[in-house]
Amino acid sequence: MHLRACLPLALLSLCLPCNSSQIPWTSPSTKSTTLVDALNADPDYSSLLYLLQRARLIPTLNRLNGSTFFAPTNEAIKRHSLTNSLWRSVLEDGYDYVPDNVQEQLRQQLFYHLLNYTLSGVPAEPDVQVHKSLLFPRKPFEPPSRDPPPSPPWMPLPGGTLGGEPQRLRLAAHGQVANVGVDAFGKGGAKIIKGIQDAGNGILLGIADVLEPPADMATVISQYTSVSYFQKIMTPEIMARLNSTSELTLFLPVDEAWDALDHVERLYLESEFATDDLRRILDMHAVVQDHVTWSDAFGPALNLTTVEGTNLDIVVTPEGTKIKDANLVQPDIYASNGVLHLVSSLLLPPNALQLTAEKYLLALNCTKFVSLLHSVDLTQLINNTDTKYTILAPRDDIFLFGEPELPERGSEELKRLLQYHFIPGRWTPNKLKNGTLLETALQEPGLNGGRQVLPIQVNSDGKKSADKGIRFGDAGVIGDPIEVNNTLIYFVSRPLVPPSDALQTALPSLDLSAFLAAVFSTSKAELLRETPSTSLLIPHNQAFKRLGLLVSAHLLAASSKDDLENVILHHALNTVEYAQSLQNGSQHTFATLEGTDVKFDRLTNGTSFISSSGGWAGLQAELYPRDLLTQTGVIHELSDILIPRSVKLTVGKLVKAAKGSTMATLVNKAGFDWILNGTTPPEGSHWANESYGSAGWTLLCPLDDAFKDYNLTQLYSDLEGLTRIVTQHLIPSPPTSFKSKEAEQHPTNNNRPLVLDDATYSTIHSASSAYGDIVFQQRSDSKEYVVGIKGARGTKGEADHARVLSWGRSTTGGGTGGVIQIDRLLIPYQPSWWNEYGAPSAVGGFGMLVICAFFYGVRMSSEAPAVEETRVGAAESVKSFIAGGFGGVAAVLVGHPFDLTKTRLQTAAPGAYTGAIDVVKKTVARDGITGLYRGMVPPLLGVTPIFAVSFWAYDTSKQLIFALTPDRKSESLSVAELALAGFLSAVPTTLVTAPVERAKVLLQVQGQGGSERKYKGVTDVLKHLYKEGGMRSIFRGTGATLARDGPGSAAYFAAYEVTKKALTPAGSSPSELNLSAIIIAGGTAGVAMWALAIPPDVLKSRIQSAPTGTYSGLLDCARKTIAQDGVRALWKGFGPAMARAFPANAATFLGVEFSRKVLDGLF
């Protein structure tokens, strides 16, 4: 066999000798000159001839010499065109369809039907013959070219994708016939249906089907069901590599081989993210050399090197062929760019594929999370097996019902969010502690490149980790964590969103909205958003009210923007301080963006307070560590607003905030402009010499509307009157600390310039007027504060009191003082002559007339002669009654300061007073000397009937004892009988004593400890008590009063009689007036009485002063008193009582004895 001279010599090597085992073909029926003539002569090949013409292969057929042409019949071509669009379009469309200039694809397919040698017969043995066709596969032109071909189109040039080798074609016997194009086992192919035709330069073999040239490698793989798993995991990229690689020898494992992989690895390979592993697996099974390795090249021992660099040892034995440790299942599956061999197992070296976190995440339904990581190129976080990480991964079901609002795929925002799900280190549940902050993989520019932290919450009901409820930020943990090499995976209930800017973070907290609104009203919002590494301390909304409404009004005014901005920046620390460092750190002072420092004070109970660099004395805020994370640091909360020293809150600024421009004008005109400016008095001025230089000032500032009824022109022109008005409203505040009752309970409640709870203050006007002092009180009904001129009366409150509307403290004058806004102008008070002198004189004169009339009536009645014995007895009773009344008045005048001190000690809260002296000092400091006689009117009004009834009842009781003992031997009473008479005297006395004591106690205790002044006098007390509970309320404590006065009166009268008799000189009668004996006996009687009466007196005072329902009775009061304050509480006030007992009762008996002497002289 040979080609004509125009063919390349290389093709001559393709000739194969006839095999002796072949069955000879039958003689042809006709003899033609060329293959073309033979085709033309047989109408069954008309379609084939047409295709050859279109493919321009007629010259090629004519030039062949000794060839074999497997010629498909018309029927075969027709059937093939039904599934092959190229053939169909060529046959049907004629010259209208020209896919390329030379019909390259069609011609290549026809070349596959040609051998460059002549077969002598069909194989008779079941063995498969392998022949080389004239098809040299090559990569098609992309796109198809219309340019002339680089060589004549009829030339089947060697080369191409098989390393210069032509595509192979198998031939196998099927009984008495043969099939061409079979597989390695002789199956399939096209049946030879027409006998041999000798065409002169070759032979024709008619076949029943068109021979389809082997497709590219990926297509070939897709045609075999035994490698369906590889088809499943084959990605477009792998397909492209398979099809674009020439001289490819591929050893592909069958489906069963893949079962050797870990389940997680298989799930990973089936995902869209396994490209790297698939590429490595492919490269470990692929050999690319300068030739294709068909199975006939397998020697007894052949070693091939894969693309990955691994070695494949091929051993051929009679039992079969081994590729490394795998069996060769099916050899030589032809492809256009190589050959495919099927093997029984994977050809992977040990540990070739590592189980990474990514593979586990995909296997455990976190494909969405992995997909997002791939979109932002963060796969190193889930594939690096050397670095330790804790991964917080949301499963796919989190996204099942609509994807949460996430940043756009591939964006920097999404990258930040995903980095926030990775925590360096392996944090097992046992290592996690509640309240800790863990650093994440997110490195924030707002933290100067530092790592953003994530808060951890751990709720443990037991000691085992399985009992712990763990939350990372706002996401809960679902199930148990999974350990993968150096990685720990927690499955979280939602994606974690990294912190936003500080203002955006604080915005959802409604309790911080007031401060945020203030920030947005200034130009500092962006500064707080963008300044890196800051800690923002945001006060609660209530802080603006606690600051004082006038201070808040000033800061929020448009004209005070500079002050407001300084205040805002004073709440921003220029370092990131998390709660842990603030509560447990050693640092106490921190710089702010405003430029000054704040100071932290940590108490032993865990509470922290922050003091600002400025403000008034004692200004501080309680810190609530919250750890609200931001892009630039952290946010904590405060109870109050901090004032830096750069903000000067003067009285003038607060007056402007109080809408008191008219009052400011008055102050200026009066020469007190230095008070408004917060400076010291002008040097050499009158005020500079009055020791006011270091004092703060509180100005009572009426609203501008308060002046609408005044003639301002006249007011401004009267400088002296104007000055009196201004001085009535100016209160000097020495630089000393003071606290209201709210401030005592809450250290941060110190926003008032003055204590307003039942307090009296001197104004500048006090130096020139007895009515310059002012008094603050809180109304019991509305709870609002009022201020009035002390001692003013007769004006019906029209000009001497005003309602307190608001206040604000100043930061000048040592941080004391400020402005109190009131609704009315306080006009200095000057009482009329009648109010000052007339009314007191009239009351005193009327009292004297009543007393004289009483004594005159008694004397006139004593002069009548009738029924003398009866009148004498009645006269003695009247004398005892009147003498007792005078004794009571004397007792009150001497003993009331002691009694007030005793009552306040008994009823005050623990710690209110350190002792009796402390009560006296605080009472005098608050109310003056007259304060010691507060509540004296009730005993004065009740003392006459009380002591009168007491001494009358005592004499009557003695007569009753005489009457009940007619056979007595002694005309004088024994000590026991005297004590009994004293006890009986307490019974009728209690009916008068109980309501009087009730009113006295309530008047004495009001105002102590900052409590409100509820009652104006005795009548007001009794009126309130009757409205509160009727006569029962008025007589509350009657039993306790009798428990005190019964034993006390017994000791009282018995001690007096015994002591007086013992002190009477021999030969004298006890009835004779002896001054020293009376004083000593009376004092001894008082001491004896109060030695017994103190415990029941404490209980009585508490029962009578407590709110209704506090105690159910005497025993309940005793039980609660001992439980709360101890047994010693029953002797509270013992010192003042003893100090009062001797002088007061000495005065009592002096009054009794002297008045009795006078009365004896009268009748």
pLDDT at 218 over 60: yes
The pairing of strands 248-253 and 286-288 is antiparallel
The pLDDT assigned to 904 comes to: 74
Segment 67-91 mean pLDDT: 90
Bridge partners of residue 818, in order along the sequence: 698, 809
Q: The tokens of 44 are what? A: 């069954």
pLDDT at 768 over 70: yes
| Alpha-carbon span 184 to 531, nearest angstrom | 75
Give residue-wise pLDDT tens across range 487-503: 999 999 999 999 999 99
Query: What is the rounded radius of gyration, in angstroms, for the C-alpha atoms of the chain?
Result: 59
Confidence grade of residue 820 (pLDDT, cut at 50, 70, 90): very high
The dihedral built from the CA positions of residue 575, 579, 582 and 586, taken in this order, carries a sign that is negative
- Identity (one letter) of the amino acid at 799? A
| Alpha-carbon span 224 to 461, nearest angstrom | 59
Q: Where are the beta strands (DSSP E) in 728-824?
A: 730-733, 759-761, 774-778, 785-789, 801-809, 817-822
The pLDDT assigned to 13 comes to: 35
The dihedral built from the CA positions of residue 422, 426, 432 and 436, taken in this order, carries a sign that is negative
Contact 673, 666 (CB under 8 A): no
**Which position has the higher pLDDT, 1089 or 464?**
1089
The pLDDT assigned to 744 comes to: 44
Q: Where are the beta strands (DSSP E) in 289-356?
A: 301-305, 311-317, 320-323, 326-335, 338-343
> Which of 737-751, 986-1000, 1052-1066 has the least mean pLDDT?
737-751
The pLDDT assigned to 146 comes to: 60
Q: Which of 1130, 1137, 956 is nearest to 1043 (CA)?
A: 1130
Most confident of 361-370, 528-537, 613-622, 926-935: 528-537
| Alpha-carbon span 1020 to 1029, nearest angstrom | 14
The pLDDT assigned to 196 comes to: 82
DSSP H or E segment with residue 491: strand 487-492
Q: Which of 175, 92, 186 is nearest to 130 (CA)?
A: 186
Residue found by looking up tokens 């000052």 in the block = 836
The dihedral built from the CA positions of residue 1025, 1029, 1035 and 1040, taken in this order, carries a sign that is negative
pLDDT at 818 over 60: yes
The pLDDT assigned to 1013 comes to: 63
Confidence grade of residue 16 (pLDDT, cut at 50, 70, 90): very low
Give residue-wise pLDDT tens across range 839-880: 444 544 443 343 334 333 333 433 333 323 333 355 666 777
DSSP 370: H
Confidence grade of residue 1019 (pLDDT, cut at 50, 70, 90): confident
The pLDDT assigned to 759 comes to: 83
Exposure string over 706-724, b if 16+ CB within 10 A, otherwise e: bbeeeeeeebeeeeeebbb
Q: The tokens of 20 are what? A: 């002796």
Contact 621, 539 (CB under 8 A): yes
| Alpha-carbon span 546 to 636, nearest angstrom | 19
| Alpha-carbon span 756 to 186, nearest angstrom | 113
Task: Find the distance separating the first CA and the last CA of the chain, reported in whole Å.
Answer: 182
The pLDDT assigned to 941 comes to: 67
What is the percentage of the chain residues whose pLDDT exceeds 90? 37
Please name the residue ranges forming H helices in 965-1070: 975-1005, 1018-1034, 1038-1063
Confidence grade of residue 1071 (pLDDT, cut at 50, 70, 90): low
Q: Which of 989, 1018, 1006 is nearest to 888 (CA)?
A: 989
| Alpha-carbon span 657 to 490, nearest angstrom | 57
Residue found by looking up tokens 């089947």 in the block = 156
> Which of 120-129, 506-515, 742-751, 1105-1114 has the least mean pLDDT?
742-751
DSSP 225: G
Q: Which of 801, 821, 704 is nearest to 754 (CA)?
A: 821
> Which of 585-599, 728-742, 1057-1071 has the least mean pLDDT?
728-742
State CA 897 to chain mean position distance.
56
**Which position has the higher pLDDT, 999 or 30?**
999
| Alpha-carbon span 1 to 3, nearest angstrom | 7
pLDDT at 1090 over 50: yes
Please name the residue ranges forming H helices in 386-524: 412-419, 502-506, 513-520
The dihedral built from the CA positions of residue 891, 892, 893 and 895, taken in this order, carries a sign that is positive
DSSP H or E segment with residue 582: helix 579-584
Backbone angles phi, psi at 929, to 5 degrees: -60, -35
pLDDT at 741 over 70: no
The pLDDT assigned to 19 comes to: 40
> Which of 234-243, 709-718, 743-752, 832-841 has the least mean pLDDT?
832-841
What pTM, to 2 d.p., does this model score? 0.60
> Which of 668-677, 973-982, 1099-1108 has the least mean pLDDT?
1099-1108
Confidence grade of residue 153 (pLDDT, cut at 50, 70, 90): low
pLDDT at 883 over 80: no
- Identity (one letter) of the amino acid at 663? M
> Which of 199-208, 691-700, 845-854, 937-946 has the least mean pLDDT?
845-854
Segment 810-821 mean pLDDT: 86
pLDDT at 48 over 90: yes
Q: Which of 103, 167, 169 is nearest to 135 (CA)?
A: 167
Give residue-wise pLDDT tens across range 403-435: 567 889 999 999 999 999 999 999 999 999 998
Mean pLDDT of the chain: 81
> Which of 82-86, 884-888, 1085-1089 has the least mean pLDDT?
884-888
Segment 1025-1041 mean pLDDT: 79
**Which position has the higher pLDDT, 1138 or 833?**
1138
Q: Which of 601, 603, 390, 347 is nearest to 483 (CA)?
A: 390
Exposure string over 497-526, b if 16+ CB within 10 A, otherwise e: bbbebbbebbeebeebebbbebbeebebbe
**Which position has the higher pLDDT, 618 or 211?**
211
DSSP H or E segment with residue 627: strand 620-630
Angle, vertex CA 973, rays to CA 969 and CA 976, nearest 5: 115
Contact 515, 567 (CB under 8 A): no
Exposure string over 1004-1023, b if 16+ CB within 10 A, otherwise e: bbbbbbbeebbbeebeebbe
Confidence grade of residue 59 (pLDDT, cut at 50, 70, 90): confident
Most confident of 325-334, 771-780, 794-803: 325-334
Most confident of 14-18, 127-131, 440-444: 440-444
pLDDT at 28 over 60: no
Say what the alpha-carbon torsion angle 446, 447, 449, 454 is, to the nearest 10 degrees: -110
